[in-house]
């Protein structure tokens, strides 16, 4: 079996199956790529995560479907078990698709799973996904960069494998960059305190829950007031935190539309 765009011929004596790590995009089923759909159509087994919309599984008509998703405090499989399951299901020479939300190389453990599979003799391939870190803010008219407002952006995990706030958040709070924090809701109070300590109490902040889905909710506030807004709107995981002047772009667009009596076109 041959991976898409793999220029090297697979040595069948050394490999006994294929793992394709596939990004499903941020949530909206229409934001999956054509290459990802092709991988699902060719899959014998699909291991899919909690953030994947199950409507996408219709493309894997011939595949065995196994839910291996994780939620805070609830694991159907531990990571080690997922790794072993990938190898086990591929031993017969099958094509295993590991379907992950967003892009698997952005805090998605896709690289770890590929390494494990390769060490156990599998051929491996990667299909990038539309990253939630960029697309979820964009879908709410929040750019991560904007001329005159910011020259760069950070994408940071809010919670490390030790279940602590990443030390990079403190470094990022000192910069003028846009800060995008994934998996950070449980650390929101700590995050807010760090930005306050840098004199950024009035910095705009947005929190988007279930981004690009029908159940999407958004809260817009400042560092000083965001916790009250979160409580008011009952915002929780899964959510993305965006901090920076670029958050104002959303409000600016709404004001312009109101002034000119125009409406946003929804795809």
Nearest Cα to 149, choosing from 120, 178, 116, 125?
178
> Is 114 marked active-site?
no
Ramachandran class of 241: left when φ > 0, alpha when ψ lies in -120 to 50, beta otherwise? beta
Helices (H), the chain: 34-41, 79-90, 110-119, 132-139, 168-173, 188-197, 226-233, 248-259
> Pick the catalytic residue: 114, 126, 183, 203?
183
> Is 168 marked active-site?
no
How far apart, in whole angstroms, are the C-alpha atoms of residue 2 and residue 194?
49
Nearest Cα to 68, choosing from 86, 56, 55?
86
> Is 49 marked active-site?
yes
> Pick the catalytic residue: 1, 35, 38, 70?
70
How far apart, in whole angstroms, are the C-alpha atoms of residue 241 and residue 117?
33
Sign of CA dihedral 16, 105, 33, 71: positive
> Pick the catalytic residue: 44, 49, 53, 103?
49
How deeply is 45 buried, as exposed, middle or buried, from its count of CB atoms within 10 A (0-12, 13-18, 19+)?
buried
- For the record, the structure tokens of 112 come out as 């770890």
Sign of CA dihedral 23, 25, 27, 30: negative
Task: Supply the residues annotated as catalytic.
Answer: 49, 70, 183
């Amino acid at each position: 079996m041959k991976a898409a765009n793999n220029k090297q011929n697979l040595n069948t004596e050394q490999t006994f199956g294929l793992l394709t790590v596939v990004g499903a995009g941020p949530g909206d089923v229409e934001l999956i790529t054509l290459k990802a759909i092709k991988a699902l159509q060719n899959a014998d087994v699909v291991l899919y995560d909690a953030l994947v919309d199950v409507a996408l599984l219709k493309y894997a008509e011939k595949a065995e479907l196994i839910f291996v998703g994780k939620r805070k405090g609830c694991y159907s499989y531990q990571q080690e078990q997922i790794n072993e399951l990938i190898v086990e299901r591929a031993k017969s020479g099958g094509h295993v698709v590991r379907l992950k939300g967003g892009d698997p190389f952005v805090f998605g453990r896709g690289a770890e799973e590929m390494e494990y599979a390769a060490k156990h003799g599998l051929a491996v391939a990667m299909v990038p996904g539309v990253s939630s870190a960029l697309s979820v803010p964009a879908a709410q008219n929040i750019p991560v960069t904007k001329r005159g407002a910011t020259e760069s952006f950070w994408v940071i995990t809010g919670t490390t494998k030790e279940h602590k706030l990443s030390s990079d958040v403190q470094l990022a709070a000192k910069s003028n960059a846009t800060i995008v924090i994934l998996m950070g809701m449980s650390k929101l109070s700590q995050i807010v305190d760090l930005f306050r300590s840098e004199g950024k109490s009035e910095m705009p902040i947005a929190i988007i829950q279930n981004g690009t889905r029908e159940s999407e909710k958004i809260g817009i506030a400042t560092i000083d007031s965001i916790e009250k807004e979160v409580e008011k709107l009952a915002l929780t995981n899964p959510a993305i935190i965006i901090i920076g002047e670029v958050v104002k772009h959303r409000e600016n667009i709404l004001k312009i539309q109101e002034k000119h009596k125009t409406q946003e076109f929804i795809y």
